[in-house]
Structure 1
Amino acid sequence: MERITCMSLLLTAVVSSSAGAPRQYHFVNQTLNWTEAQRYCRENHTDLVSISDIQEQNDIEQAIKRVNSNADRVWIGLKSTWIWSLSDPAFYTEHESQYRNWGSNQSNGDGDCVYMEKHGQWHDLDCSQTRHFICYNGSSKGFVSVQEKKNWTEAQKYCRENYTDLASVRNQSENQQIQNITTDDQVWIGLHRLWVWSDNSTSTFTHWKPNRSTTSNTSHDCALIDRQGRWTDEDCSNQRPFVCYDDKLVLIRENKTWTEALRHCRNMDMDLVSVDSEQMQRWVKILLMKASASSAHVWLGLRYSSILGVWFWVNGQTVCYDQWASNLDKCDETVRYGAIRTRDNHWISRPETEEINFICIK
């Protein structure tokens, strides 16, 4: 298959306008707690908003200002959860992964990683700080005190390379075992906080307020946009307005041929998706994580014209932006329809008769 550059002319019969942005944002100017806001968005739209780059951040800020230019703190779909570095569920019996031994007024938002102090109580701290740390050795089923100072991520890497992982603490007995093998005032353990989007998207973009502060005795587990457009965290039970989104992309987890998929989308007043920009590729990539395990590829609205000798989208555009896999052969007589591989998000041509999942766009 050869990459096709933009063409200035195409048959009038297949010319149409761009599919447009894949998301629409809705600022809801009523106050609910984070969980209630999440429920509202899921019932009336797609979900609480997730943000993957500065352009979307700016679009959301504009959506808020159009409705309420004085809005102060507005919920987004980001919520934190405490998890162990050693994530194998077989390592924990019922409730063991939820054991905690927080000190007074902890966790209080000082950071997203946890250390144990010499009396056995736990505190949260900025993960970039350096501390001694405790590894878990699976072969001996015991703990190892490491007398090197590293930040939490470096400590995790060291434990995984030399032992099993940073230490999980499953009960009071293990908490005492760690106390017994270290005389340090503070040692990293394997508990850390991850910020997770409500829709399970994997965006790593952040826009936190510099040096954001929290108040003791408050669990700041949900994220907001403040008046300056920066993110901050707050108690999830507080009542705030919020932003929902509508996703114009719909993954159909049914296996159909390309023609059947096109017909299915159009019968629902949609179309097979045209991936004509990097932004659209990114949103398609998010949906691929939800494809059926049996579907190694997912149909796109991409087909080959033997008359024109070009690939084009069902919305009428030729292929200007592309993400073709680099190791493809030229098209043969039976391979003339475009799909995207779930394992690496590259485009690939497939026989029309292959039955796989597909993505429609509203």
Structure 2
Amino acid sequence: MKQLVKMEKRSSFMTPLSLSLFLLLIIIAALQLEASVPMKTIHYVNEWKTWSDAQQYCKENFTDLASGGYQREDLLNELVKNGDRSVWIGLYRDPGNASVWRWTGERGDASDDASWATTSEREMKNCTYLSFRKKTCPTLNVTSEANVTKDCKPSEYRGLYNAHCSESKLSYCSKGDQVQLETEAMSWYDAQESCNNKSMVLATVTQSNQHTFTAIGWTWIGLHIPPNTPGNYTSKDIWKWIGTDSQYNWGWGEPDHENCGVLRFPSNMLHSDSCSDRHRFMCFVDNVILVKENKTWEEALEHCRAIGSGDSSRHNHYRDHQYDLVSLQSEDDHRYARDKIQEATTNEVWTALRFLAGQWLWVDGEPQQYQNLPLCPAWGRHCGTLPKDHSTQWQIRDCMERRNFLCIKTPAG
């Protein structure tokens, strides 16, 4: 009888959620658990769109263009049924990254003194031209450079713009301080070859020397995004995934000069394609939420299970919750979650890993696959985290510590 009283007194200090955790193993065993929801859900869209229009559609109806998960057999079967050989995915050449732009000649890397007309001019086009527009001097009313006064020049510098390298334009060659205007219109690559034949290169333009370029109109210069060739920089430096993926499974000879990525079938390889082409496409829905609030493990569990539940005071923590603390099953799960938590304000985040009734488990009922978890963890250190770095897949921490956490959508959500 005394022993029973002691047990009742001890339990009086425990919250209802704490008591429920000790019954969770029994409940999980009794319930017929549904299949878990993946970290992200892929949706095939049977519409023909350009890459930018496809991305806009995905943002309006899902999360964004898909950046992974396209190996699912049901999706592949649907692609085959529709006769698709290429579908847009969330892979693109990143023109906003200054490191992708190169000058021809010795200078190489493009620096910030390359004066773009606007930052938005770094579009998905690989070659750059210089723009001057015609200007009338108010006093002499002349438009030829031969009759320029000291205070008036007939051409006004507008800045750098980019265009498709196949367009025809005049060009500037240079060698040292010498600058020469080529008056025959040609593509950027032909202009580059023409300059090289004169032992010159397409010109470099900076804030300090832009006054030496005065031709009215559009003229090619040496700023460009070079193709990926051996000895150049790798595709990973200039290609970027939407979302968190970081793997590049390029087809033979890829990526080419184009700026948007497609997935080709049946090879399941990545290829570059013109962003203005039209393809069907795949979107994804992100089912994981990073909560940047510092909570104890139980508070984090309660927070996740209250998402979308309305009145949290009446919320049932056992069933019908739309979100739960995240459980991590596969290598892809760990990679996706770890990429996502790089924006967390703590070095580790809570997961659904918990030590209860003498064993480790995921509180959402998923099978626990980790090896070498302590059989008898220190008092209080009964809760699992995922660290930002790649040193380990898990850490064991005191459940009363406070940190960020990941919630994932459940089948009920």
User: AA paired with 1:243?
Assistant: M
Structure 2 match to 1:194: 238
**Residue aligned with 1:349, SS:** strand
Structure 2 match to 1:79: 92
2:52 to 35, 51, 54: 35
Structure 2 match to 1:303: 354
Written as runs of structure 1 = structure 2, the 5 A alignment for 1:75-224 is 75-82=88-95, 83-85=97-99, 92-93=112-113, 95=115, 100=128, 105-106=187-188, 118-121=199-202, 122=222, 124-128=226-230, 151-152=231-232, 194-199=238-243, 201-206=244-249, 208-211=250-253, 220-224=258-262
- Give the length in aligned residue pairs: 267
Aligned-residue offset at 1:220: 1.4
Aligned-residue offset at 1:212: 5.1
Q: Deviations over 1:198-227 (max 9, x none)?
A: 22x241231x3323596xxxx610011234
Aligned partners of 2:248, 2:372: CA distance in 1, in Å?
22
Aligned partners of 1:45, 1:120: CA distance in 2, in Å?
47
Aligned-residue offset at 1:84: 4.8
Aligned-residue offset at 1:322: 5.3
**Structure 1, unpaired ranges of 5+:** 1-9, 109-115, 129-150, 157-190
Written as runs of structure 1 = structure 2, the 5 A alignment for 1:1-20 is 11-15=25-29, 16=33, 19-20=36-37
CA 38–335 in structure 1, closer or farther in 2 if over 3 Å, else same = same
Aligned-residue offset at 1:346: 3.4
Aligned-residue offset at 1:318: 5.0
CA 126–94 in structure 1, closer or farther in 2 if over 3 Å, else same = closer
The answer on whether the counterparts of 1:70 and 1:227 sit within 8 Å (CA) in structure 2 is no
User: AA paired with 2:401?
Assistant: E
Aligned partners of 2:58, 2:254: CA distance in 1, in Å?
27
1:241 to 276, 280, 284: 280
1:259 to 269, 288, 298: 298
Written as runs of structure 1 = structure 2, the 5 A alignment for 1:272-351 is 272-292=325-345, 295-305=346-356, 307=357, 309-317=358-366, 319-321=368-370, 331-344=377-390, 346-351=393-398
Aligned partners of 2:281, 2:98: CA distance in 1, in Å?
30
Aligned-residue offset at 1:107: 7.4
Structure 2 match to 1:356: 403
Q: Deviations over 1:147-206 (max 9, x none)?
A: xxxx235xx9xxxxxxxxxxxxxxxxxxxxxxxxxxxxxxxxxx996110122x241231
Aligned-residue offset at 1:336: 1.5
Structure 2 match to 1:183: none
Aligned-residue offset at 1:94: 7.4
The answer on whether the counterparts of 1:18 and 1:315 sit within 8 Å (CA) in structure 2 is no
**Residue aligned with 1:246, SS:** strand
TM-score if structure 2 supplies the norm length? 0.56
The answer on whether the counterparts of 2:334 and 2:393 sit within 8 Å (CA) in structure 1 is no
Aligned-residue offset at 1:337: 1.0
TM-score if structure 1 supplies the norm length? 0.63
Q: Deviations over 1:37-56 (max 9, x none)?
A: 112212211211112xxxx4
Aligned partners of 2:351, 2:48: CA distance in 1, in Å?
39
Higher RCO, 1 or 2 (CA under 8 Å, sep at least 6)?
1
CA 62–192 in structure 1, closer or farther in 2 if over 3 Å, else same = closer
Structure 2 match to 1:188: none
1:58 to 60, 68, 71: 71
**Structure 2, unpaired ranges of 5+:** 1-23, 102-110, 130-164, 166-170, 172-185, 203-221, 308-321
**Residue aligned with 1:204, SS:** coil
The answer on whether the counterparts of 1:257 and 1:352 sit within 8 Å (CA) in structure 2 is yes
Aligned partners of 1:360, 1:343: CA distance in 2, in Å?
19
Q: Which has the larger radius of gyration?
A: 2
